[in-house]
Amino acid sequence: MPELPEVETERGRLAARLEGRRIGSARIDDVRLTRPEDPALVAARLAGERVAGVERRGKYLVIRLDQGDVLVVHLRMTGSFRYEPASHERAVLELDDGTRIAYRDLRRFGTWALLDPDEVDEYLRIRLGPEPLGRAFTVPFLARRLEGRRAPIKAAILDQRTVAGLGNIYADEALWHARIHPLRAAGELRPDQIAALRTGIRSALRRGIRRQGADLGDGTYAGGRMQHEFRVYGRTGEGCDRCGTPIEKTRAGGRGTWYCPGCQL
Ligand SMILES: [Zn+2]
């Protein structure tokens, strides 16, 4: 499942091809992608539009069109953009310079929402907390979000309204960096642990972006190298890079969760 680093990698590749170009034609073949809107109507609105910019907010791609409309794409589990013909294509954009961009999605949980300019901010605001690499993601903000919560800290940081963009992998990695046990109650963290958590989240994500995300072997995010550098994720029984204790797997917030029982307290 793509998280912030994988989506940021997709954003960069997409922006290089889309920004400044006009969409010559658009085809959307999957009613699930745009529902409740009719995919043919969404495709008709995209055709002829020039792309002003491709941005990212949390795990959303935000494609701004010259006329003001904004296409908000969530890749969910298996969505990706492809620049060569691929299996499981759900939509295709042909650009004015001949570039063909396909949207591929094996599991079909991805979404395309074409929003009016005045809808976009609210759409994202109700779903997302601050960008973890931005200035609004402060220790006081994080402390307020965690205060009094009995949920495990792992579940708390997977809540996109606490911090936008974390998923199962980078949440585990962030907690390792911060030396915090994933099952610790969110509201019990000391101020120094909250500060370490903020730093850990930012470190894990920055590392992921630099490695162009993680390719977990299904080829969806091919080219990512972060999978070679996981500290805990998927490493049951291997020695912790910090203290040598074997990594263990548990469940937190209904998700498979890896941690070091030696140095995450
Ligand atoms: Zn350890």
Q: Contact at 8 Å (CB) between 38 and 44?
A: no
Catalytic residue status for 255: yes
Tell me whether residue 3 is one of the annotated catalytic residues: yes
The structure tokens listed for 210 are 């630099």
3-state helix, strand, coil in the chain (%, to 5): 35, 25, 45
Catalytic one of 2, 5, 130, 152: 2
Instruction: Tell me, in angstroms, the distance from the centre of ligand 1 to residue 47's CA.
Output: 53
The reply to whether 249 belongs to the active site is no
pTM check: above 0.95: yes
For residue 220, what are the CA distances in angstroms to 77, 83, 121? 10, 13, 29
Tell me: the pLDDT tens digits for 52-96?
A: 999 999 999 999 999 999 999 999 999 999 999 999 999 999 999
Per-residue pLDDT at 222: 79
- Whether 154 is a known active-site residue: answer no
State in Å: Cα 239 to ligand 1 middle. Answer: 8
Identify the active-site residue in 11, 57, 59, 211. 59
For the chain, which residues score pLDDT lower than 70?
Answer: none
Measured in Å, residue 89 CA sits from the centre of ligand 1 at 43
